[in-house]
Structure 1
Amino acid sequence: MQKEQRPAVADWFTAEDGEARLKGTRCTSCGTPYFPKNTLACRNPYCEGPKDGSELVDYLFSTRGRIWSYADARYKPPAPYVSADPFVPYVVAAVELEVEKMVILGQVVRGLTVDDLAVGMPVELTVGVLYEDDEAEHTVWMWRPVND
């Protein structure tokens, strides 16, 4: 029996339509995107819109970008981070999104090492399992290399 999949971090991403997307907000006045969601007010000092927070709307981020930086995660992170037991090393990548031109950090899909990656390599967003327990597989967004 397959376990239920649950996001490890509530409301930061979705894959309901079959495509993984990061969830954030965007200022309707100046267009500044925020991840994770910003619910207070636009923090862009050059924004000329109202500062009461009413200008922020839900926003789904683009799904492709290029690796800006990457590193091995060889040691189990301390609490409150939850990881598989036993801990399995993984790779993290900072990816500059094509549309928003902002950098988002995330794990790289399992099975790849730093030797498989390069700065500037095109990647896309996907969903993978962070850890599982008796009830569910807890998922997060991950980066997967693509052919340009």
Structure 2
Amino acid sequence: MQKEQRPAVANWFTAQDGAVRLQGTRCKHCGTPYFPRNTLACRNPYCAGPKDGSELDEYQFSTRGRIWSYADARYKPPAPYVSPDPFVPYVVAAVELEVEQMVILGQVVPGFSVDDLAVGMPVELALGTLYADDDAEHTVWMWRPVDD
């Protein structure tokens, strides 16, 4: 029996119908995007809009970008991070999103090592399992290399 899938971090991404999208907010006035979501006020110092947060809308980020930096994660992170037992090393990538031109950090899908990656390589969002317990698979967004 397949376990239920639950986001490991609530309200940071959606994976409806297999389409993974990061969720955040965006200022209606100046267009500045925020991830994770910002609910207080636009922090762009050049924004002339209201500073009370009333101009922030829900926003789904673009799904593709290019690797800006990457590294091996060979040691089990400390709590509150939850990882499989036994710990399995993984690769993390900082990816500059095509549309928003901001950098988002995430794991790279299993099966890729740092030897398979390069700065500037195109990637897209994918759904992956961070860990599983008796009740569910706890999912996160991951980066998957793609052809240009």
Q: Normalising TM by the smaller chain, what interval?
A: over 0.9
TM-score after normalising by structure 1: 0.99
Q: Any stretches of 5+ residues in structure 2 without a counterpart?
A: none
State the match for 2:28 in structure 1. 28
1:1-148 aligned within 5 A: 1-148=1-148
Q: Counterpart amino acid of 2:2?
A: Q
Q: Runs ≥4 in structure 1, deviation > 6 angstroms? A: none
CA distance in 2, matches of 1:76, 1:134: 21
User: What is the aligned length?
Assistant: 148
Deviation at 1:21, TM superposition (A): 0.2
CA distance in 1, matches of 2:89, 2:7: 20
Q: Counterpart amino acid of 2:17?
A: D
CA distance in 2, matches of 1:118, 1:18: 26
Q: Counterpart amino acid of 2:49?
A: G
Q: Counterpart amino acid of 2:50?
A: P
Q: Any stretches of 5+ residues in structure 1 without a counterpart?
A: none
CA distance in 2, matches of 1:41, 1:21: 23
Deviation at 1:18, TM superposition (A): 2.3
TM-score after normalising by structure 2: 0.99
RMSD of aligned residue pairs (Cα, Å): 0.4
